[in-house]
Amino acid sequence: MGKKKYNWETKFETAKSLMVHTFTDRVKVEANLKRGEVLVLVDGHTVNAYYGKMPVKEYECLLLGVEEYANQLKRKDQFKEVAIFIFGFVAAVTAALLLTGNL
């Protein structure tokens, strides 16, 4: 069985007892190691919270699920950027055609 490759960054903020997993600029998981609190954050807002002890395997599954969600969100954001670019391009071409009398 091959090793899993995780696609997120993990940092420890020891003064706050935090372990922070960053998946994208929009999606993070913050685990308070002292309180046993895990927060899933999207755009800085808590969208899910877990309290109490969580087995390592369950925590790993949570992180893999959040990673999948973060990737879906990233793809949607990229699609929106492309759609906005195309809309702007079509608008610019239409305006140019109108100005030159070719439309």
pLDDT digits (tens, 9 = 90+) for 1-25: 556 666 899 999 999 999 999 999 9
Residue 103's pLDDT band, with cuts at 50, 70 and 90, is: low
pLDDT category at 96 given cuts 50, 70, 90 is confident
Residue type, 53: K
Structure tokens at 46: 């808590």
Taking Cα atoms as reference points, which of 49, 3, 44 lies closest to residue 22?
A: 44
Tell me the C-alpha distance between 28 and 14, whole Å.
Answer: 17
User: Which tokens sit at 25?
Assistant: 């600029």
Q: Which pTM does this prediction carry?
A: 0.72
| Cα separation, 103 vs 96, whole angstroms | 9
Inter-residue contact 63 to 21 (CB < 8 Å): yes
